[in-house]
Amino acid sequence: GEDVEQSLFLSVREGDSSVINCTYTDSSSTYLYWYKQEPGAGLQLLTYIFSNMDMKQDQRLTVLLNKKDKHLSLRIADTQTGDSAIYFCAESGTDSWGKLQFGAGTQVVVTP
């Protein structure tokens, strides 16, 4: 089956930029997603990128996609304590009826 891999932990100082990386294997993925999970809560869609795009910017968030290397990254500018959460990378194929394949999640801890 498809695999989505992420590093498990990232520590960043408040005000710095965070970069969370993800690699995936399914070359038919139409969209790639970043979901955020705050403590004790379910996941929320943070942003997404269509597979024919290289970059997408949304306020403090920048998503970069290298389709050749199957590498996705999420950059959070000016990281705040409220950004402390688990971030999941996910992919969907073209025929998956909206099913997603999630990575294991990256725990981001923001320190003052």
Partner 1 sequence: NAGVTQTPKFQVLKTGQSMTLQCAQDMNHNSMYWYRQDPGMGLRLIYYSASEGTTDKGEVPNGYNVSRLNKREFSLRLESAAPSQTSVYFCASSPNAGALLGEQYFGPGTRLTVT
The verdict on 24 binding partner 1 (CB under 8 A) reads: no
* 48-77 footprint of partner 1 as x/- string (CB under 8 A): x-----------------------------
Take residue 20 and report the two structure tokens written for it.
Answer: 């969370």
- How far, rounded to the nearest angstrom, does the alpha carbon of residue 7 sit from its chain's CA centroid? 11
Query: What single DSSP character describes residue 26?
Result: -
User: What dihedral do alpha carbons 82, 22, 46, 39 form, nearest 10°?
Assistant: -40
The verdict on 7 binding partner 1 (CB under 8 A) reads: no
Rounded CA gap, 37 and 35, in Å?
7
Closest separation between CB of residue 41 and partner 1, Å? 6
Q: Which is nearer to partner 1, 45 or 77 (CB)?
A: 45
For residue 86, the SS3 value is: strand
* Residue numbers at the binding site for partner 1 (CB under 8 A): 1, 4, 8, 30-31, 33, 40-45, 48, 88, 90, 92, 96-100, 102-105
